[in-house]
């Protein structure tokens, strides 16, 4: 017989009245039935119905004491007549606790690349979910394996439409979650469009340039190379995903033409050849 486990919320801002013995807002969900007008959820303990609720979507929320029950779902047509009923299934109502996140074995992920990693912590509950968020966008990881209450095994393959810095959340059944702020990076190869200054006088000291492109990510770097040899390396200043800035010292670099390598985290690089020119003299034109 199929078993469904329902977890209710246990959080610091929710008080349980011990005399009532009721759990907080347990929710059960099921797959929607085509052409169903509504549903009736029934929960029973032994032979007594303790919950009977009609709903118009494929989920129902109810109060019930913690324990073991049986439930069934009836599908109703527009006249309120039962079309079909599910068999009775097992329902276990348990408390859910906030998970604790301790470490993530991998924190940089590359678009379109499948990467396994391990999350360690405490109070993980079977059926928990893992997802990342940034600026209102949420991406759930499809391959999350519960190993035990202290360890999860995950596989993440970001698609090409997402990149940047993300918060990682672990959510136990019942909606209780913990997160690691802006500690997950989804990286991809940056794109170069243009540079604000590309010609310098070798007598000049520090000069700040702006590079415009796409897919720039925080914590990236700029390299200058001359004849395939790296001669300068510095972090770039992230302005936004389309603009970064970097300070160069022509006096230190010396005469010649230089390639620029723009590197995002995860060694995602773009090479632009002969983009910087340093000469002994530049006219004012």
In the chain the first and final C-alpha atoms are separated, in Å, by 83
Q: Which of 16-20, 27-31, 78-82, 99-103 has the lowest mean pLDDT?
A: 16-20
pLDDT, position 25: 66
> Mean pLDDT across the stretch 38-55?
93
Compute CA distances 243 → 80, 192, 215, 224, 236, whole Å: 59, 10, 9, 18, 10
Q: How far is 26 from 24, CA to CA, in rounded Å? A: 6
Burial class (CB in 10 A: 0-12, 13-18, 19+), 87: exposed
Q: Select the more confidently predicted residue: 8 or 256.
A: 256
The edge-to-edge listing of strands for the beta sheet with 151-156 is 100-104, 115-122, 151-156, 143-148
- The Cβ-side half-sphere exposure at 103, using a 13 Å CA radius, reads 3
pLDDT, position 12: 28
Contact between 266 and 109 under an 8 Å Cβ cutoff? The reply is: yes
pLDDT, position 182: 64
Residue 136 clears pLDDT 60, i.e. is over it: yes
> Mean pLDDT across the stretch 51-59?
92
The model's pLDDT over 159-168, given as tens digits with 9 standing for 90+, comes to 988 999 999 9
> Mean pLDDT across the stretch 170-191?
84
pLDDT, position 216: 97
Residue 142 clears pLDDT 80, i.e. is over it: yes
> Mean pLDDT across the stretch 31-48?
91
pLDDT, position 178: 81
Q: How far is 221 from 264, CA to CA, in rounded Å? A: 7
pLDDT, position 18: 26
Q: Select the more confidently predicted residue: 67 or 221.
A: 221
Residue 151 clears pLDDT 80, i.e. is over it: yes
Residue 24 clears pLDDT 70, i.e. is over it: no
Q: Pick from 34, 181, 7: which is nearest to 92 by CA?
A: 7
Torsional class of 215: left (φ above 0), alpha (ψ -120 to 50), beta (otherwise): left
Percent of the chain with pLDDT over 70: 89
DSSP designation for 253? H
Q: Select the more confidently predicted residue: 82 or 66.
A: 82
pLDDT, position 23: 58
pLDDT, position 137: 86
Residue 284 clears pLDDT 50, i.e. is over it: no
Q: 15: pLDDT confidence band, cut at 50, 70 and 90? A: very low
């Amino acid at each position: 017989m199929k078993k469904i486990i329902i977890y209710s919320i246990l959080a610091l801002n929710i008080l349980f009245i011990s005399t009532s013995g009721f759990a907080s807002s347990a929710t059960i969900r099921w797959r929607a039935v085509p052409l169903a007008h509504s549903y009736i959820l029934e929960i029973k303990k032994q032979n007594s119905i303790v919950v009977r609720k009609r709903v118009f979507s494929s989920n129902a929320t109810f109060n019930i004491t913690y324990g073991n029950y049986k439930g069934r779902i009836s599908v109703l047509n527009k006249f309120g007549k039962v079309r079909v009923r599910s068999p009775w299934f097992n329902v276990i109502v348990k408390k859910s606790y906030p998970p604790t996140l301790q470490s993530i074995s991998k924190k940089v992920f590359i678009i379109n690349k499948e990467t396994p990693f391990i999350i360690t912590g405490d109070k993980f509950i079977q059926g928990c979910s893992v997802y990342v968020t940034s600026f209102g966008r949420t991406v759930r990881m499809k391959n999350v394996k519960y190993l035990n209450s202290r360890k999860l095994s995950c596989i993440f393959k970001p698609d090409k439409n997402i990149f940047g810095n993300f918060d990682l959340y672990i959510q136990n059944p019942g909606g209780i979650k913990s997160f690691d702020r802006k500690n997950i990076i989804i990286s991809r190869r940056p794109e170069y469009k243009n540079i604000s200054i590309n010609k310098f006088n070798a007598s000049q000291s520090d000069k700040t340039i702006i590079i415009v492109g796409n897919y720039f990510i925080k914590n990236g770097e700029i390299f200058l190379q001359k004849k395939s040899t790296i001669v300068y390396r510095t972090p770039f200043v992230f302005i936004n995903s389309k603009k970064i800035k970097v300070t160069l010292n022509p006096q230190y670099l010396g005469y010649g033409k230089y390639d620029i390598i723009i590197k995002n985290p995860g060694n995602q690089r773009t090479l632009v050849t002969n983009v910087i020119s340093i000469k002994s003299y530049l006219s004012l034109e």
